[in-house]
Amino acid sequence: MTNAHGHDHDHDDPWIGDLLKDSPTNWGKWGPDDEVGSLNYLTPDVVLSAAKAITSGKTFTLQVKMANPDGDPVWPGRSGAVRINVMDEGHFLAGKGVETAGGAHYADDYMTCFLQGSTQYDALGHVWYGDQIWNGYDAKTTIGGLAKASVCPIAEKGVVGRGILLDIARWRGKDVLDSGETFTHEDLLACAEAQGATIEPRDILLIRTGWIGSFYRVPSEEFYADFVEPGLTYSPELVEWFRSMEIPNLVTDTIANEVTVDPVSGCVLPLHNALMRNLGVTLTEIAWLEDLAADCADDGQYTFLYTAAPLKVVNGTGAPVNPVVIK
């Protein structure tokens, strides 16, 4: 196939570098050492203004459950978190518990998980093309762990700003969008207008497709069959809109924030590169938006204070998070 720049590629072998050849970047915008990208837009003034969105004090948490015996929603090929008891009453009944002065018993456990295996923040260095990651750092800095643009600087900064829910599924009259169903930034604007809300510069965007909610309603085999998630789809206009609106953070109830395979170019996850690698937009995935969305539909308030702090994992490609929304 021939892409927008006239470069011939085999249909099975498109290259994101060709697709994004003229795409804008924010490299250097916050200096040569920046590792948090567009989160720099969340200045104290933005936070103070965001606090004004609180009207009732209602709170919502946006993390899916981890180590759920019924399974965790994860990208195909990853496995859900596994929690293992290492101390409980059984040990004491068997005479193998650790005795302490005073006779207190206790339980202890540990968990193994993909850092990208729950509601989580991507590090800006998580995905790239060519030989450079966010801000122009050498891709070799990812070897053995992200020495640059890991999730740790994001976790140390924390994320606080005005959030706006864009309930695309409800707007389209659906419980859940279809596999591979796409929408654009223009759809986001139209959805916001229908909800009686306005997307402002530097807003944190929370987009509901119903996809993660459906994980808990359908058999796993059905959820993962011919896996192509619904989501935003690449266009130069969409990328420019994110840049000009100075969007710091994109939060979705899908595993990868965007339609899995771009229907035009055939590239897998081009927005990870156009938005995260190039513009420094932080991506938050696998968010639980069902309860928040139901409440927004009920009271008509789609804007709120959004707060999140992923775990401070040194050199991590991402980290679990339980965002808290305050309406």
CATH number of the domain bearing residue 174: 3.50.30.50
Q: Please check whether residues 309 and 214 belong to one and the same domain.
A: yes
Q: Please check whether residues 248 and 276 belong to one and the same domain.
A: yes
pLDDT at 10 over 90: no
Contact predicate 214/223, CB 8 Å: yes
Q: Please check whether residues 91 and 174 belong to one and the same domain.
A: no
Residue 244 domain flag:
yes
Q: Please check whether residues 101 and 218 belong to one and the same domain.
A: no
Q: Please check whether residues 127 and 199 belong to one and the same domain.
A: yes
Q: Please check whether residues 269 and 128 belong to one and the same domain.
A: yes
pLDDT mean over 250-273: 96
pTM for the full predicted model: 0.94
Residue found by looking up tokens 């409440």 in the block: 295
Q: Please check whether residues 269 and 136 belong to one and the same domain.
A: yes
Residue 33 domain flag:
yes
Token pair of 220 as six digits: 């796993």
Could you read off the pLDDT of 270-292 as tens digits, one per residue? 999 999 999 999 999 999 999 99
User: What pLDDT is stored for residue 3 in this prediction?
Assistant: 39
Cα–Cα nearest to 136, from 292, 268, 31: 31
Residue 7 domain flag:
no
pLDDT at 14 over 90: no
Q: Please check whether residues 62 and 208 belong to one and the same domain.
A: yes
Q: What are phi and psi of 122, to 5 degrees?
A: -75, 140
- Angle subtended at Cα 194 by Cα 190 and Cα 196, rounded to the nearest 5 degrees: 115
Q: Please check whether residues 103 and 241 belong to one and the same domain.
A: no
Q: Please check whether residues 285 and 225 belong to one and the same domain.
A: yes
User: What pLDDT is stored for residue 12 in this prediction?
Assistant: 62
Residue 13 domain flag:
no
Domain boundaries, position 224: 19-77+114-326
Look at residues 69, 91, 112 and tell me which one is the last residue of a structural domain: 112
Instruction: List alpha helices for the chain, DSSP H.
Output: 16-19, 44-51, 89-93, 151-157, 168-171, 185-195, 211-215, 220-224, 236-244, 270-271, 278-279, 290-299
User: What pLDDT is stored for residue 7 in this prediction?
Assistant: 41
pLDDT mean over 40-60: 98
Percent of all residues in the chain with a pLDDT value above 70, rounded to a whole number: 96
pLDDT mean over 209-235: 96
Residue 185 domain flag:
yes
User: What pLDDT is stored for residue 5 in this prediction?
Assistant: 38
User: What pLDDT is stored for residue 294 in this prediction?
Assistant: 98
Look at residues 68, 94, 112 and tell me which one is the last residue of a structural domain: 112
Residue 45 domain flag:
yes
Residue 1 domain flag:
no
Residue 50 domain flag:
yes
Task: Count structural domains, the chain.
Answer: 2
Phi-psi category of residue 132: left, alpha or beta, with phi > 0 → left and psi -120 to 50 → alpha: beta
Q: Please check whether residues 256 and 180 belong to one and the same domain.
A: yes
User: What pLDDT is stored for residue 9 in this prediction?
Assistant: 44
Q: Please check whether residues 119 and 171 belong to one and the same domain.
A: yes
Token pair of 51 as six digits: 């606090």
